């Protein structure tokens, strides 16, 4: 907590008014700003703040249990941290109330597996999307006939709604579908452990790479051509130019793009849900955290609330580490880039 | 984004939300005891809630009712086509004690859950419905804790589709069918497939295998698992062995109903377990290569007819309904011979009334009808348990692993047993 | 979705690069043919990779339902039936209505997010005030929250106030991810505006509000329009929340497609789903093509004056 307050006091990315008379001006502007920002904050409080807080409250309640006498459900009461222990420590209760390790087939047993799968997807898809994105952006940054066509084409996957994308790839990856026909294979894309994971990775890469490419392209376009000309004069190879000039210059834009994508990828739901139903392998090869939450919602909402809270915290920690270790600064990058571009 | 901003997000949003929480009670529905005693003789307009009316059979039926009961008009509330969404929609409206959901159409596997939540009106005393003319297994799906909570409305049972050009007499036992697989091998096609993808259909198929072998998934109390029996083991073992030795083709592990149908219509399967809907499609599809060369038979069992799993829906009255008398009369109307016959002839929905299966004019239209009656008559419901989502998850995960050979049958059943036990403890 | 914000923002930089591109074009001509061919091949691969699945969707959409799994690359068993079926309400599908719903929801969400977001973005870009850092953090964090966690609490809230299945029950949650996107994108655009002009107008006697309305807003119009398109697209594509909170009457098009019913239970009418997918995607593709030109034109105009 102390970190938070301490650093908030010095918002590095926000421009400051000049020192003289700044305090007075600032107080006046703060009053105006409150009115301007209030509608946004109120709306966000209703649509995000409210669900977050009520989910946290519910996560400390037990799910309804059965009254043996009547066969009817009765409210579970206060749960303490047992819902959290259920997921993180994989603790279940047996019929006589003893704590046991959750058996396979109980959702609790899948928490760490789902966490692993989620991170696996996030790392692999974002790595692939970044690599292909850089490549696509470099191609699009060149001048050639039909460049407009390429730019239009790469926006198509991005424009198709994810729900439609998932249906489309499910159809493509059907056992008697076009993917197997093209490859002359009989791969079980929706059930084999690794094939199902790759089916999702391929679909996600198809859908999102264009988007990364556009982000990176914008970063590329602010690199002045004379930098390359100078490098060429110094005898730098194409690879050296890429490694020494392009990459360092687009790094800030790249890091922001990667951060956004990772946070997005950690929430992945539609594709695995529709493509594989979270199945594959021994049954859970593609179960991500979001899928686990939705599965749990039908078995008990309070426990699901605990899981969604954990998911949020995990995503939060990733963002935190990203910012701390890699020094990604969304706000500052934004400004630096614009200032750089303005010159 | 500086560290600070990330760290304050949670704090900030928590503060924003904190003011709003005062108005929300964290959930937890009270007991429905009082509601079940109210409005028993209420008469007036009601709403009937059901999933998407694919074959347009519900509206004509409701129009007919409304013509005869102008003062007790039924409004049709159509839900989505997806079972999960229908389930959630019902849960949410019941939680809100919505009096506008008078009669609801519930999947057979949700009946126990909704009954235990206290949302369904027990159909007894003045609200009792006549079940004497119904196929017996359909009543079991609507009964929880020895009380009837819903009126069976439509049913469904598994059928064995077979290639009569290759196998003139269909096998009646599992062992015979496995023997006939040599015919499939000679013709270079797959032998047998049901639905083995990891979804509800797998629970259907595994229950069939276990019930056919004389075992069961849960005991009569609806929550104690009974998978530690030799019968249960024999049932699952049948599926596992068939998959392992190739009698069930490898890609069947991805099959839902449609993939199996596609393979069968393409002439790639000798036998297939599927629902009656396949019959007409396989007869008429442009790409169907088996239009005139397939037949239907009851599912093979150990010695006689196998134990199919029951599909279908039950109609139930909400405890929050204001017009329960009307709702009750509407249930009786849904179960009447005329309505059931209309559901069958217009929508190919399997009736719950026993007599319709012997109707010769209907049999002429639906040649599979007597086979289906045999199937449903010896069918077994899936576990009637309030913890159905957890139970089916336990079955699917472990059976799937066993069929794929990632787990021994013994281990799979032990895990299934343990997972079903934890289901009833809430965690 | 939040990442879209970044694209738009980043594209702000594009106008600055216009000059650079011109130099580059000249430099390009001097280069060897070898690189041109390699670029051509790479470009072809990219186009093929991006369009092939889309092509397959269209081919399947025109294929007779009885030949759903035909794997010929070219259109075979061509029929328009799937499109007719997609719009037919006989099986309880309401694609036409769903399209209107999506349009209506999208327009409302975009309008609300823009009107509210413009004020916040102005404050964030232009004013110096306390808690600005926290505010940016909250807005960015808002787009970080896992969507699955919003559904059930919102459902309870909407049930309590009788909003379930209504349009406002779909519009409000969409604002949860469209508004942060809008504020973020607009803030970045606004930082780029020629604020000297506003100062000048104030010296000429305009109030700050007048200066904003008469000078800044017209200049910002292209940026606002671009933001509007991004907001509309992300609202149009939303699925998870709508699938839970919509009723049959208010169902948007993504939900309608995902729950498309066949003539039989269990039957998944893939050819019809692909036809519906084509219908839903085509307007977006057209929009995106216009949006591309818009962005470049809008930014260039702003850039020249700035």
C267-280 per-position pLDDT tens digit: 667 888 899 999 88
Which of A 284-303 lie inside 8 A of C, CB atoms?
289-290, 293-294, 297, 301
Could you say which of C127, C145, C280 has the minimum Cβ distance to residue A29? C127
- Angle at CA of residue B338, ends B332 and B343, nearest 5°: 95
Query: Which of the four pLDDT bands, split at 50, 70 and 90, describes residue A13?
Result: very low
**How far apart, in whole angstroms, are the C-alpha atoms of residue A174 and residue A188?**
8
The torsion angles phi and psi of A68, rounded to 5 degrees, stand at -60, -30
Q: Which fold has domain C2-22+80-305?
A: MetI-like fold (1.10.3720)
**How far apart, in whole angstroms, are the C-alpha atoms of residue C140 and residue A330?**
9
- B350, β-bridge pairs: B155
Supply the range of the domain harboring residue B119.
40-156+311-377
Neighbours of chain B (3+ CB pairs under 8 A): A, C
Name the residue with higher pLDDT: B255 or C164: B255
Residue A279 is predicted with a pLDDT of 61
Say which residues have a Cβ less than 8 Å from residue A151's Cβ, sequence separation at least 6.
A140, C292
DSSP string, A100-128: EEPPBTBGGGGHHHHHHHHHHHHHHHHHH
Residues B273 and B166 in one domain: yes
Residues of A whose CB is below 8 A from B424? 66, 95
CB C95 within 8 A of CB C253: yes
Asked whether residue A53 is assigned to any structural domain, the reply reads no
Widest pairwise Cα distance in chain B: 78
User: Among candidates A112, A98, A207, which has minimal Cα distance to A163?
Assistant: A207
Helix, strand and coil percent figures for chain A, each rounded to 5: 70, 5, 25
Asked whether residue A211 is assigned to any structural domain, the reply reads yes
Tokens of A250: 């687009």
Query: Which of the four pLDDT bands, split at 50, 70 and 90, describes residue A332?
Result: low
**How far apart, in whole angstroms, are the C-alpha atoms of residue B5 and residue B3?**
5
**Tally of domains in chain B:** 2
- The domain spanning residue B244 has which CATH number? 3.40.190.10
Residue C257 is predicted with a pLDDT of 82
Residues B294 and B316 in one domain: no
Region A107-121: what's the mean pLDDT? Answer: 92
Asked whether residue A185 is assigned to any structural domain, the reply reads yes
User: Among candidates C243, C196, C192, C233, which has minimal Cα distance to C10?
Assistant: C192
Judged against a pLDDT cut of 70, whether residue C9 lies above it is answered with: no
Residue A27 is predicted with a pLDDT of 72
Name the residue with higher pLDDT: C231 or C48: C48
Residues B239 and B194 in one domain: yes
B24 lies within 8 A of chain C by CB = yes
The torsion angles phi and psi of C251, rounded to 5 degrees, stand at -55, 125
Say which residues have a Cβ less than 8 Å from residue B188's Cβ, sequence separation at least 6.
none
Name the residue with higher pLDDT: B394 or C134: B394
Name the residue with higher pLDDT: A11 or B74: B74
Asked whether residue A181 is assigned to any structural domain, the reply reads yes
Asked whether residue A176 is assigned to any structural domain, the reply reads yes
Å between B98 CA and nearest CA of chain C: 9
B12-31 per-position pLDDT tens digit: 444 443 333 333 333 333 33
Query: Which of the four pLDDT bands, split at 50, 70 and 90, describes residue B1?
Result: very low
Percent of chain C with pLDDT over 70: 79
**Tally of domains in chain A:** 1
C62-76 per-position pLDDT tens digit: 988 878 788 788 888
Residues B253 and B359 in one domain: no
- Angle at CA of residue A147, ends A142 and A153, nearest 5°: 125
B386 lies within 8 A of chain A by CB = yes
Interface of C with B (CB under 8 A): 64-70, 77, 90-93, 133-134, 136-138, 140-142, 144-145, 153, 155-157, 159-160, 164, 243-244, 248, 251, 255, 258-268
Residues B229 and B317 in one domain: no
User: Among candidates A274, C254, A269, which has minimal Cα distance to C246?
Assistant: C254
Region B234-238: what's the mean pLDDT? Answer: 96
**How far apart, in whole angstroms, are the C-alpha atoms of residue C17 and residue B18?**
46
Judged against a pLDDT cut of 80, whether residue B196 lies above it is answered with: yes
Residues B322 and B247 in one domain: no
User: Among candidates C224, C231, C225, C236, which has minimal Cα distance to C290?
Assistant: C225
Residue A280 is predicted with a pLDDT of 58
| Most confident of the ranges A148-157, A178-187, C180-189 | A178-187
Residues B149 and B187 in one domain: no
| Most confident of the ranges A94-98, A117-121, C128-132 | A117-121
Asked whether residue A199 is assigned to any structural domain, the reply reads yes
Asked whether residue B217 is assigned to any structural domain, the reply reads yes
How much is the ipTM here? 0.79
Neighbouring CB atoms inside 10 A of C169's CB total 24
Distance, C-alpha B99 to centroid of its chain? 26
Judged against a pLDDT cut of 90, whether residue B341 lies above it is answered with: yes
Residues of B whose CB is below 8 A from A98? none
Percent of chain A with pLDDT over 90: 11
Asked whether residue B35 is assigned to any structural domain, the reply reads no
Tokens of C235: 């609202």
Residues B183 and B252 in one domain: yes
Task: Give the predicted TM-score (pTM) of the model.
Answer: 0.80
Asked whether residue B238 is assigned to any structural domain, the reply reads yes
Asked whether residue A54 is assigned to any structural domain, the reply reads no
- The domain spanning residue A137 has which CATH number? 1.10.3720.10
Asked whether residue B398 is assigned to any structural domain, the reply reads yes
A157 lies within 8 A of chain B by CB = no
In order of A47, A293, B95, C243, the CA distances from C157 in angstroms are: 10, 20, 12, 17
Name the residue with higher pLDDT: A112 or B85: A112
Asked whether residue B34 is assigned to any structural domain, the reply reads no
Judged against a pLDDT cut of 50, whether residue C297 lies above it is answered with: no
In order of A24, A74, C293, the CA distances from C147 in angstroms are: 41, 29, 32
Å between C37 CA and nearest CA of chain B: 41
Asked whether residue B8 is assigned to any structural domain, the reply reads no
**How far apart, in whole angstroms, are the C-alpha atoms of residue A298 and residue A278?**
15
A254-284 per-position pLDDT tens digit: 887 788 788 888 988 878 887 776 665 556 7
Tokens of A270: 């539609």
């Amino acid at each position: 907590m102390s970190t938070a307050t301490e650093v908030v006091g010095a918002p590095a990315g926000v421009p400051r008014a000049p020192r003289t008379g700044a305090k007075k001006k600032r107080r006046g502007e703060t009053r105006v700003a409150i009115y301007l920002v209030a509608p946004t904050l109120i709306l966000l409080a209703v649509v995000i703040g409210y669900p977050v807080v009520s989910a946290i409250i519910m996560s400390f309640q037990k799910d309804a249990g059965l009254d043996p006498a009547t066969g009817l459900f009765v409210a579970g009461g206060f749960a303490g941290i047992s819902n959290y222990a259920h997921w993180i420590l994989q603790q279940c209760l047996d019929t006589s109330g003893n704590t046991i390790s959750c058996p396979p087939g109980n959702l609790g047993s899948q928490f760490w597996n789902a966490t692993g799968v989620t991170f696996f997807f996030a790392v692999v898809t974002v790595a692939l999307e970044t690599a292909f994105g850089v490549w696509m952006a470099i191609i699009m940054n060149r001048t050639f006939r039909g460049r407009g066509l390429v730019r239009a084409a790469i926006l198509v996957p991005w424009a198709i709604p994810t729900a439609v994308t998932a249906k489309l790839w499910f159809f493509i990856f059907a056992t008697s579908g076009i993917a197997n026909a093209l490859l002359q294979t009989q791969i079980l894309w929706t059930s084999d452990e690794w094939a199902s994971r790759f089916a999702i990775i391929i679909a996600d890469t198809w859908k999102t790479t264009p988007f990364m490419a556009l982000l990176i392209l914008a970063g590329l376009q602010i690199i002045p051509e004379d930098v390359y000309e100078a490098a060429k004069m110094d005898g730098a190879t194409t690879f050296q130019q890429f490694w020494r000039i392009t990459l360092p210059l687009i790094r800030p834009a790249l890091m922001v793009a990667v951060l956004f994508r990772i946070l997005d990828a950690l929430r992945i739901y539609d594709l695995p849900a529709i493509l594989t139903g979270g199945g594959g392998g021994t049954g859970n090869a593609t179960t991500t955290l979001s899928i686990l939450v939705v599965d749990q919602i039908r078995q008990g909402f309070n426990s699901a609330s605990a899981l969604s809270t954990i998911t949020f915290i995990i995503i939060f920690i990733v963002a935190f580490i990203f910012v701390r270790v890699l020094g990604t600064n969304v706000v500052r990058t934004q400004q630096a880039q614009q200032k750089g571009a303005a010159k | 984004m500086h560290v600070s901003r990330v760290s304050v997000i949670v704090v900030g949003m928590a503060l924003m939300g904190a003011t709003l929480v005062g108005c929300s009670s964290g959930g937890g529905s009270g007991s429905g005891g009082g509601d079940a005693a109210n409005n028993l003789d209420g008469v007036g307009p009601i709403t009937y809630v059901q999933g998407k009316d694919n074959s347009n059979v519900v509206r004509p039926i409701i129009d007919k009712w409304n013509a005869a009961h102008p003062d007790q008009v039924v409004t049709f509330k159509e839900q989505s086509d997806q079972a999960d969404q229908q389930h959630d929609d019902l849960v949410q409206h019941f939680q809100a004690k919505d009096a506008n959901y008078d009669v609801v159409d519930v999947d057979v596997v949700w009946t126990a859950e909704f009954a235990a939540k206290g949302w369904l009106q027990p159909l007894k005393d003045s609200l009792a419905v006549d079940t004497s003319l119904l196929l017996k297994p359909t009543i079991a799906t609507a009964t929880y804790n020895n009380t009837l909570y819903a009126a069976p409305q439509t049913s469904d049972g598994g059928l064995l589709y077979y290639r009569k050009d290759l196998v003139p007499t269909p096998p009646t036992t599992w062992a015979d069918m496995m023997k006939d697989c040599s015919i499939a091998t000679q013709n270079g096609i797959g032998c047998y497939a049901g639905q083995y993808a990891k979804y509800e259909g797998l629970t259907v198929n595994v229950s069939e295998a276990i019930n056919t072998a004389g075992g069961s998934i849960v005991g009569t109390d609806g929550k104690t698992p009974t998978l530690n029996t030799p019968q249960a083991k024999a049932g699952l073992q049948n599926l596992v062995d068939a998959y392992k030795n190739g009698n069930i083709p490898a890609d069947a592990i991805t099959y839902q109903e449609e993939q199996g149908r596609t393979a069968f219509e393409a002439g790639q399967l000798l036998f297939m377990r599927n629902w009656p809907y396949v019959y007409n499609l396989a007869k008429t599809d442009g790409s169907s290569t088996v239009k005139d060369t397939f037949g239907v038979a009851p599912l093979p069992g150990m010695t006689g007819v196998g134990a199919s799993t029951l599909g279908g829906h039950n109609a139930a009255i909400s405890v929050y309904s204001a017009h329960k008398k009307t709702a009750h009369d509407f249930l009786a109307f849904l179960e009447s011979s005329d309505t059931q016959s209309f559901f069958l002839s217009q929508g190919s929905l399997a009736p719950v009334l026993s007599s319709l299966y012997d109707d010769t004019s209907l049999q002429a239209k639906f040649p599979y009808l007597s086979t289906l009656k045999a199937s449903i008559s010896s069918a077994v419901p899936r576990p009637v348990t309030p913890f159905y989502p957890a139970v089916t998850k336990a079955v699917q995960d472990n059976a799937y692993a066993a069929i794929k050979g990632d787990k021994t049958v013994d281990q799979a059943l032990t895990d299934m047993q343990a997972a079903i036990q934890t289901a009833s403890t809430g965690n | 979705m939040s990442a879209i914000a970044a694209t738009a923002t980043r594209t702000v930089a594009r106008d600055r690069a216009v000059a650079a591109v011109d130099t580059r074009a000249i430099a390009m001509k001097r280069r060897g043919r070898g690189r041109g061919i390699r670029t051509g091949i790479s470009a072809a691969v990219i186009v093929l990779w991006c369009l092939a699945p889309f092509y397959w969707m269209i081919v399947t959409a025109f294929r007779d339902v009885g030949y759903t799994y035909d794997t010929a690359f070219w259109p075979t068993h061509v029929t328009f039936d799937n499109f007719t079926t997609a719009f037919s309400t006989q099986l309880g599908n309401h694609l036409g209505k769903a399209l209107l719903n999506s349009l209506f929801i999208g327009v409302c969400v975009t309008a609300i997010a823009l009107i509210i977001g413009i004020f916040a973005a102005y404050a964030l870009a232009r004013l110096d005030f306390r808690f600005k850092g926290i505010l940016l953090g909250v807005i960015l964090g808002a787009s970080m929250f896992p969507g699955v966690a919003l559904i059930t609490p919102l459902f309870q809230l909407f049930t309590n106030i009788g909003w379930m299945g209504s349009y406002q029950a779909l519009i409000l949650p969409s604002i949860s991810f469209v508004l942060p996107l809008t504020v973020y994108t607009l803030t970045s655009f606004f930082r780029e505006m020629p604020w000297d002009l506003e100062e000048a107008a104030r010296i000429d006697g305009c109030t700050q509000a007048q200066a904003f309305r008469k000078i800044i807003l017209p200049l910002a119009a292209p940026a606002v329009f671009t933001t509007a398109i991004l907001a509309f697209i992300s609202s149009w594509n939303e699925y998870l929340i709508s699938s839970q909170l919509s009723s049959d009457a208010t169902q948007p098009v993504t939900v309608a497609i995902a729950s498309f019913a066949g003539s039989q239970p269990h039957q998944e009418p893939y050819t019809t789903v692909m036809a519906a997918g084509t219908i839903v995607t085509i307007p977006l593709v057209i929009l995106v093509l216009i949006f591309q030109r818009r962005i470049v034109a809008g930014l260039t105009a702003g850039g020249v004056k700035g």
